[in-house]
Each structure stands twice: as structure tokens, then as C-alpha cells.
Structure 1
Amino acid sequence: MLLAGDVGGTKTALALFEQNTMTPLHLKKFISKDYPGLQEIVAAYLAEHAEHTISAACIGVAGPVTDGVCETINLPWVVEEENLAARIPSGKAMIVNDLEAMAWSLEFLTPEDLHVIHPGQEGEGNRGVIAAGTGLGEAGVWYGRFYHPFASEGGHADFSPQTYEEDSLLSFLRNKYRHVSWERVLSGPGIENIFEFLVNTYRVKPNPEVMAKMCDKLDAATITHAALNDLCPACRHAMELFVSLYGAEAGNLALKLMAVGGIYIGGGIAPKILPLLDSDTFRSAFMHKGRLTSVLQNTPVKVIMTDRAPLYGAAHVAQLLADDKPVY
């Protein structure tokens, strides 16, 4: 049996897979902040399934992984590969960046798992993965003799505005944060930041009823729902700006990786806002790259519709470990 996991800032998912399959036998989600660390979640989960022998384990974690250790960005955790390996009889265990885990899943996703928002020209080549959720993750897939995923922390690179309105957004966020990264605008909290900017700078007047629902705290889910249902002009404007920025950064990633094999959009937000994402707003921002526009026009863009992709990728890495095959 294989243990696969996906640690996010909001939820942690663990699943058991039979070896050489991509179908989880049992999957359970935990509220991450309710636990002091990952090892407590793993211990509780394995105790529920003590009848199974785990051959290998891999868990994707939202944060940079260095020498088997990850200090998570959006959780007060330190995740150590050594602690995970101690719970596996074989000792075969690995932690990887969560977007790298998602990238490992691309070969196993079905057409039903993907929604094409820009067909481009299908072909072989490097790929990129970008995912907005609690934070913003990015990863690459190098194409040589075979596809080989690798992690990055591109979501924490400097936010680069392209319009006067985005210039003002950057100035607004500079007063709120020391460093304004792409994650500050492309994430659940990023949606709230954009909405706060639009309302507090009097660019768009919000619907009073929607504002009443957020009297205590700005809420990305409320903003998104109001935008999708045209209930609030400020929410609609916020999400249009969010989608445009998402397209721009996805295009940036495609150029940095020369990802002619495609850009894959994962994370929890994309499937929920698909009517907004599958739009000329996104496609225009994605392709608007001056002299390299033609490259982006030929680059396919697909939304990963299943939230199990990081688990599939982690299970594949665990299978490599179980088979004593090299991961890198």
C-alpha cells in the first residue's frame, strides 16, 4: 500500500493507494490549522488504517523543501521527511513541494480532468503548472527523454503591474506589506486584497448587501459568488482584475520555462471561477507579451478540474520509491 498526501494552507488530504494504481482506496481531509503539525495528522490517519502495511509514502507540502525539510509558508509547521520515514516500515518516504506533486500527476490526468481554455498547438516540450489557492504555487516540467517535474517558488517573486490601475494596486499593497509578491494578488487572500484596494480607493462602489455579509472580515468566497452572479460591481471588477493578473503571470511562467508543452492551472480557485477564467480577459493577458506574443498564442492552457491531482502525483513518487527507482 502507498501513502500519498497533499498539505495545503487550509486543508491536508491523505490517501491510501494500492500499488501500481491511480485510484485511492481511502481518502480523508483534515483542517490543517486544527493540528500542531503534519506528523499528528499522519499518526491519526495511519492509526485508522493499522491493518494496512505501507510500502512507501510521499507527501506534497505547500512550501520550499530543502534537504527533506519544509517550513510551510501559510502554516506554522516544520515538516521533516525523516519523521515521515520513521512511520513507514520500509523507511521509504519523501516530501516534495505541493506543486511539484501536482506536476507529477500530469501524465495520469484524463481528458475529463482537464478543461481547455486555450488550445494552442498540442505538442511535446516543457510544461508549467500554476495554482492559486491559499497561496500561489508554481512548478515546471522539463522535457528531455521523458517529463521530469521540478519545484519553484515563483509565486513569491515580485508582482509586476502592467497597467495604471495595477500600478495603483501595487502602491496600495506596498503600504500593507513589506514585499508585494504575486501571491499577494493571486490567491484567496489576494482576491480580498484586490477588492479592498478597489473599495478603499473609491474606484468601484460595492453592493451594500454584499458588504453587510463581510462586516467582520473580507471573504474571497463571498466576493467570488457575488461576481459570478453579477450581484456587486466591485466584486465583478475585483474578479476581472484577478483573472487578468492570473493570465499575465501564467504567461510569464510560460515564457520563463519556454513551456510550449502547455500551461496547467491547478488549485482550488480555478474550477470555481471557470466561467470567468475561460474568457478573453484571461487569454488576452496571457498572450500580451510584445514580441513573444506568437509563442503564447501557440501555448496550450488547461485547467485541472480534479482536486486529487497532487495526490496522484504524490502516489506516483511513492510508487517509484517502492520500486527502488530513482525519483531524480
Structure 2
Amino acid sequence: MDVPMAKHLENEHIPFPVLIGDIGGTNARFWILTDVYAAPREFPTVRTADFETIDQAIQECILDKSSVQPRSAILAVAGPIKSDEIPLTNCDWVIRPKGMIEQLGFEDVLVVNDFEAQALAAASLAENDREAIGELSQTTLGSRVVLGPGTGLGVGGLVYSQHIWIPVPGEGGHVDIGPRSKRDYEIFPHIETIEGRISGEQIICGRGIVHLYKAICVADGKSPEWSDPADITAHGLSGSDPVCVETLELLATYLGRLAGDLALIFMARGGVFLSGGISQKIIPALKLPAFRAAFEDKAPHSALMKTIPTFVVTHPQAALAGLAAYARTPASYGVSHDGRRWRR
């Protein structure tokens, strides 16, 4: 028994220095960890549209700017990992780990789902890196859920078993979402669909804010004034535009409904964590009654839902922090390497 366990732990080890990266549809963020204990070296955010390939971005923005050359890389990507070529969901980049080993000098590359990294963060972040939504402010070691509206809508699960945290990647942002209230039935016929479907991502993300705003305008016979999610959000938070105010209220409601559904699926007694920049920006809207009311309205289990806490992750680089926690103490986490790790 001792030999297989030692071999297992050896296989889990990621050699330092480690480049860790959070690769989103719009931005890519990188840190280098020189060893287990050192604070990460941070680099400026990279706009994915500014570089033809991820290899070019890493070479010019990281490797050319650092005297520390990483031996390995752990990358969190927005999209499923199925082969040696990994296309991103909302970006033209394709990640080719074998090419990175040959061209960039890495000896070890591990690729995980971006919300797997967010789930790792939910397991490891300090209390001051989150803000409670609702009266509950404490967590337990029970299962957790992470979801975050950004360029798309990411979803991840986190299971605590055998004294380790096991992140569960998925594509939960693409589940169907439908009307429920009278107001929903007025608005939903005007929401843009994908092949006839309205998924969570169609209304709970950056472009989803615009879809929702425009649908409200059409339903009420008004001409849209705004086309940028940042403008809609700003006017909604300030209260200067009634349609924008309703857009944020409905966004909070639909996010609360989906978060509650996922909490039931995972029996997430350890809490639901809302990640990403949009969640951070709309904290005032999420703290209004609509979000928790929608989250808890899950008869016959409303009493159970009242016991599940909800948080906004406020750490500015949560995914990188989650990856860093894993790189430092991999034995604390059950991260699968099958089909996702390449070595020289």
C-alpha cells in the first residue's frame, strides 16, 4: 500500500516554478509561483484579442518579462477539455499543450476548466475575500457551488469527501431557463434564442444583460437607449433609468433561481459562491430582496434553502488564487489529470 500511495503523490506534484493562468474569453491573467511558500509574481492582464495565439501572449507578456522561467504551467480555460487541441468557448485561441512544451520550454502542462479553478478558490479563499448575500455568513465543509456571469456563464461544483476538496467541472451555464412569473411571460418571447433555446447564459452574463434589457424595451414598447452592459448596469445601480433598474432586478432574480437549482442539485450546504467581475459590480442589486427570495423559493424545500449561505467572491484574482492553492498543496484537492496533463 505504501508504494502506490507514494507514486500517487509524486504524480500529483507540479514542478516549480509554476506559471498559472486564468484564460477567459476576453482577458487572460497570469502569475508565476517560484516555490511553495513565495508570494506570486503578478503580471498585467492580457487582452486575448491583442494576440493571435496564447503561445505568443505567454512568450511576449510573461516569459520575455521574467527572469524566472517556469518549468510547468497550470492553465484554467473557458471550455471543455477533450483532446490535445483545446479551443476556447468565447475566444479564437486554441491551447496546444504539446506545442507549449516544444516551443515555450515547459516540461509539464496541466489544463483545467475555468470554473474548476473558481471551485478551488471557493475551497481556499479567506473569509475577507467574500461578501455574504443575505443573513448567513458562515460556511461548513459541505458541498459548494460556484457560478459566475462574465463573458459567458460559468458553473462549477465542489464536493468535500475523504478530507479533500474535489472540484467538479461542467457546462451548467447552458441549462434551459424559462419564464415563471406573469412579467417573465411578457419578456421571454422577446429574448434572443440559440436554435430556439433560452439558456442561462442568454440572460445571465454580459451580453445577457443586453438581451434582457432589449427584451424589456420591446415588451413595453420602448426604444432601447443603451447597448453596452456597463451602461445598463451603471444606470440600473444609480436608479437613473427605470428599464435598467428592472433589468438588474430581473438579472438578480434569474441568477437567484439558477443558483438555487444548482444548490439543490449539489445539496450545497457549504454555500453558493458568485464569482467574476459582474457579480462584484452588482453587489448592491444582489443585496436587495429579489436574489435571496428567488434562491429560497424552492417549495417543498424552501426551509432547506434558507439554511444555505450565498456569497460574492471579492478576491480580484480568485481563479489564480485557487490554482495557486492547488499548486502548493495538491494532496488537499482531488483534481483529475486524466487526459488533461502533458509532460515532456
TM-score, normalising length: structure 1: 0.89
Q: Which amino acid aligns with 1:73?
A: T
Q: CA RMSD in A?
A: 2.3
1:68–1:176 Cα change, 3 Å: closer
- Corresponding residue for 1:182? 200
Query: Does the CA-based 8 Å contact 1:240-1:281 persist in structure 2?
Result: yes
Distance in 2 between the 1:22 and 1:183 partners? Answer: 38
121, 130, 142: which one aligns with 2:147: 130
Distance in 1 between the 2:73 and 2:327 partners? Answer: 5
Q: Which amino acid aligns with 1:302?
A: F
- Corresponding residue for 2:64? 48
301, 324, 327: which one aligns with 1:315: 324
2:181 paired with 1:172: no
Q: Which runs of 5+ in 2 are unaligned?
A: 1-16, 337-344
Specify the SS of the correspondent of 1:19: coil
Aligned residues: 317
- Runs (4 or more) in structure 1 with deviation over 6 Å come to none
Shift of 1:327: 3.5
1:92–1:231 Cα change, 3 Å: same
How do residues 11-26 of structure 1 correspond to structure 2 at under 5 angstroms?
11-21=27-37, 23-26=39-42
- Corresponding residue for 2:246? 237
Q: Which amino acid aligns with 2:129?
A: D
- Corresponding residue for 2:287? 278
Specify the SS of the correspondent of 1:236: helix
Specify the SS of the correspondent of 1:107: helix
Shift of 1:30: 1.0
- Corresponding residue for 2:169? 151
Specify the SS of the correspondent of 2:197: coil
Q: Which amino acid aligns with 1:184?
A: Q
- Corresponding residue for 2:54? 38
Query: Does the CA-based 8 Å contact 1:120-1:298 persist in structure 2?
Result: no
- Corresponding residue for 1:262? 271
Distance in 2 between the 1:222 and 1:90 partners? Answer: 42
292, 296, 302: which one aligns with 2:305: 296
Query: Does the CA-based 8 Å contact 1:56-1:88 persist in structure 2?
Result: no
Query: Does the CA-based 8 Å contact 1:6-1:310 persist in structure 2?
Result: yes
Distance in 1 between the 2:278 and 2:193 partners? Answer: 26
1:159–1:83 Cα change, 3 Å: farther
Identical residues among aligned pairs (%): 28
Shift of 1:12: 0.9
Specify the SS of the correspondent of 2:52: coil
1:165–1:69 Cα change, 3 Å: farther
Q: Which moved more, 1:15-24 or 1:228-237?
A: 15-24
Shift of 1:67: 3.9
Distance in 2 between the 1:139 and 1:189 partners? Answer: 21
2:323 paired with 1:305: no
214, 217, 220: which one aligns with 1:196: 214
Q: Which amino acid aligns with 1:239?
A: L
Shift of 1:320: 5.8
1:56–1:45 Cα change, 3 Å: same
- Corresponding residue for 2:5? none
Query: Does the CA-based 8 Å contact 1:69-1:80 persist in structure 2?
Result: yes
Distance in 1 between the 2:209 and 2:86 partners? Answer: 26
Shift of 1:54: 1.0
Query: Does the CA-based 8 Å contact 2:55-2:104 persist in structure 1?
Result: no
Q: Which amino acid aligns with 1:231?
A: S
Shift of 1:40: 1.6
How do residues 90-105 of structure 1 correspond to structure 2 at under 5 angstroms?
91-105=107-121
Query: Does the CA-based 8 Å contact 2:73-2:106 persist in structure 1?
Result: no
